[in-house]
Amino acid sequence: MYDITIIGAGASGLMAASILQKEKNLKICIIDKNSKIGAKIKVSGGGKCNITNKYLNTSFYLGDKQFIENIFKQFDNNSLLKFLKLNNLDPIVNEKIVKGTYFCNSSDEVITLFSKLTKGCDFLLENEVLAVDYINEEYFITTNKKKIKSKKLIIGTGGLSYTTLGATDIGYKIAQKFGHTIISPNPALVGFTVQKEQFWFKELSGLSMDVRIKVDDKILEGSFLFTHKGCSGPVILSTSLYWKKGQIEVDFNPSKERYLPKRFKQAIKDLDIDIHSFKFSPAGNFGYTKAEVTKGGIDVGELDENLQSKFQKDLFFIGEVVDVTGELGGYNFQWAFSSGYCCAKSF
Residue 23: per-residue pLDDT:
79
DSSP conformation class of 308? B
Q: Parallel, antiparallel, or unpaired: how do β-strands 122-125 and 28-32 relate? A: parallel
Asked whether the predicted pLDDT for residue 22 surpasses 80, the reply is yes
Same-domain check for residues 23 and 94: yes
Sign of the alpha-carbon torsion through 260, 285, 292, 276: positive
Domain count, the chain: 2
The answer to whether the beta carbons of residues 29 and 16 sit under 8 Å apart is: no
User: Which residue type sits at 27?
Assistant: K
User: Which residue type sits at 304?
Assistant: D
The residues pairing with 278 across neighbouring beta strands, listed in sequence order, are 250
The answer to whether the beta carbons of residues 325 and 226 sit under 8 Å apart is: no
Residue 290 included in any domain: no
Same-domain check for residues 121 and 240: no
Same-domain check for residues 29 and 102: yes
The CA-atom distances, in angstroms, between 73 and each of 79, 308, 338 are: 10, 17, 9
Residue 291 included in any domain: no
Same-domain check for residues 263 and 162: no
CATH of the domain at 18: 3.50.50.60
Residue 64 included in any domain: yes
pLDDT tens-digit map of 291-325: 999 999 999 999 999 999 999 999 999 999 999 99
**Final residue of a structural domain among 243, 260, 285:** 285
Same-domain check for residues 304 and 277: no
**Final residue of a structural domain among 285, 313, 331:** 285
According to DSSP H, which parts of 87-133 are helical?
A: 107-117
CATH of the domain at 254: 2.40.30.10
Q: What is the mean pLDDT of residues 40-45?
A: 94
Closest CA to 44 of 326, 248, 277: 326
Same-domain check for residues 168 and 205: no
Query: What does the radius of gyration of the chain's CA atoms come to, in whole angstroms?
Result: 21
Give the Cα separation of 70 and 127 in Å (integer).
34
Same-domain check for residues 301 and 281: no
Closest CA to 87 of 67, 117, 123: 117
List the domain range (segments joined by +) for residue 300: 2-185+296-345
Residue 248: partners with Cβ closer than 8 Å, 6 or more residues away: 213, 214, 215, 239, 279, 280, 281, 282
pLDDT tens-digit map of 256-300: 877 899 999 999 999 999 999 999 999 999 999 999 999 999 999
> What percent of the chain has a predicted confidence (pLDDT) above 90?
95
Residue 86 included in any domain: yes
Q: What is the mean pLDDT of residues 328-333?
A: 98
Residue 10 included in any domain: yes
